[in-house]
Amino acid sequence: MDAGLTAPCEELAQALQARGWMLATAESCTGGLIAAACTSLAGSSNWFERGFVTYSNEAKTELLGVDAQAIASHGAVSEIVARAMAFGAVRHSRAKVAVAVTGIAGPTGGSADKPVGTVWFGFSVDGRLSSERMLFDGDRAAIREATVRHALARLLALMEGA
């Protein structure tokens, strides 16, 4: 694991274990990198419940229950889809906390309103949904790494506020 991800993962692990909560991830553009960062810690089975890699629209619908019409109307990279992914990850697991990411890591696939680097995050913390949009710079690897870092940091901040 990237040494820079060890500390946020450890802090997140402590926060989850202190509450007796489990985490689920729902990932599209990161392809499981958030789950990989979390499970690289020894003992992660105490707080990491499962990860969903839902790269295709069909996987988002089948595994997480994201409404196909929402994807068709708003696109996979949208607030409504990120929130639905986070909700679905909790609903289809034993977790009380979830993070979901859906974005455009590039180098192609961007548009004027959704340029490469656009990532929507969905969070579910003890029944409360939230979301945010970020725009990251760099190549595909840099965008994916920034997405993982932001997901972990923001989830930790939301947990501390819960």
> pLDDT of 54-106, one tens digit each?
999 999 999 999 999 999 999 999 999 999 999 999 999 999 999 999 999 99
pLDDT of residue 2: 66
> pLDDT of 11-49, one tens digit each?
999 999 999 999 999 999 999 999 999 999 999 999 999
**Spans of all domains in the chain:** 3-161
What is 3-161's CATH superfamily? Answer: CinA-like (3.90.950.20)
Residue 130 has pLDDT above 60, yes or no: yes
Token output for 147: 């997405």
Residue 160, Cβ density class (10 Å: 0-12 exposed, 13-18 middle, ≥19 buried): exposed
d(CA 130, CA 83): 7
pTM (2 d.p.): 0.96
Token output for 158: 């939301």
Residue 146: pLDDT band (50, 70, 90) is very high
